[in-house]
Amino acid sequence: MPVRDAVASDVEEICSLIEEHARYEGNHDLVLDRAELRRYLFGPQPKAWVLIAEVDGRVAGMALCTWTFPSWDARPGIFLDDLFVRPAYRRHGLGKALMDELAARTSGRVEWEMQEGNERAEAFYAHLGAKPVEGWIRYRWRPHDG
**Is residue 145, in this structure, part of any structural domain at all?**
no
User: What's the domain count of the chain?
Assistant: 1
pLDDT at residue 135, rounded to an integer = 85
- Nearest CA to 66 out of 52, 85, 46 is that of 46
CATH number of 71's domain? 3.40.630.30
User: Would residue 66 count as lying in a domain?
Assistant: yes
* CA 134 – CA 145 distance, rounded (Å): 29
Q: Would you say residue 63 lies in a domain?
A: yes
Q: What are phi and psi of 31, to 5 degrees?
A: -135, 120
Residue 43 domain-assigned (yes or no)? yes
Tell me which of 7-11, 23-27, 53-57, 136-140 is least confident.
136-140
79 located within any domain: yes
Residue 133 lies in a domain: no
**Residues 63-108 pLDDT 10s:** 999 999 999 999 999 999 999 999 999 999 999 999 999 999 999 9
Whether residue 146 is contained in a domain is answered as no
25 falls within a domain: yes
The residue range of the domain holding 110 is: 3-128
Report CA-CA distances (Å) from 84 to 5, 19, 72, 93: 15, 10, 30, 12
Distance CA 97, CA 2 (A): 8
Q: In angstroms, what is the C-alpha Rg of the chain?
A: 16
Spatial distance between the Cα atoms of 118 and 39, rounded to a whole number of angstroms: 32
Share of the chain above pLDDT 70, in %: 99
